[in-house]
Amino acid sequence: MKRIHKIKTDKVIKETLSDEALECLRDSCDNLRDLAIIDLLASTGMRVGELVNINIEDIDFENRECVVFGKGNKERPVYFDARTKIHLKNYLKSRTDDNPALFVSLDKPFNRLQISGVEIRLRNLGRRLGIHRVHPHKFRRTVATRAIDKGMPIEQVQSLLGHSQIDTTMHYAMVNQNNVKESHRKFVA
């Protein structure tokens, strides 16, 4: 076994969502729930499993944060922006049910939204707009990449995403080549 070498595979830089793609997704939402979901995913970078398990009481609008339960039932805070706060509040005001879940189905009996429901909605929205492969994880990768591109220390990105190993965070953070070029000019040239 020691003589068997690992197979080298190409490292594919996975896509992130552009600012334009995110705005198109927001603009094409035909209901407040989907808009709130897109904003929450785009500003927090949370996993889709964490998103569907959030209850209304978990949201702290004052501090624009909420507590999610990540992998291994680890609890961590995630933070959202002012736009997300407004869209979440508008969505909650529009609801007529008494389900404690933050996101519920659009039709009666208003059950908690499932992971597959979020994935299907995003995929269909992306197809309708001609945006390649829209799925919840792409939002997570986008948040990680943007944070690193803007200078957030990798350890803080690790905490933000709820990773126990920094190697996992490094896989998410696809370094923008323009920033590498700028850093080269700044530090080397």
pTM exceeding 0.75: yes
Q: Which CATH superfamily is domain 19-187 in?
A: Intergrase catalytic core (1.10.443.10)
Task: Centre a 10 Å sphere on the Cβ of residue 130 and count the other Cβ atoms it contains.
Answer: 8
Residue 61 sits at φ, ψ, to 5 deg, of: -65, -35
Question: What are the tokens at 140?
Answer: 């997570």
Catalytic residues: 47, 71, 137, 140, 163, 172
Please say whether the beta carbons of 137 and 48 come within 8 A.
yes
Is the pLDDT at 177 greater than 70, yes or no?
Answer: no
Query: Where residue 185 falls among pLDDT bands split at 50, 70, 90?
Result: confident
Is the pLDDT at 78 greater than 90, yes or no?
Answer: yes
Which helix H or strand E contains 26, and what residues bound it? helix 19-27
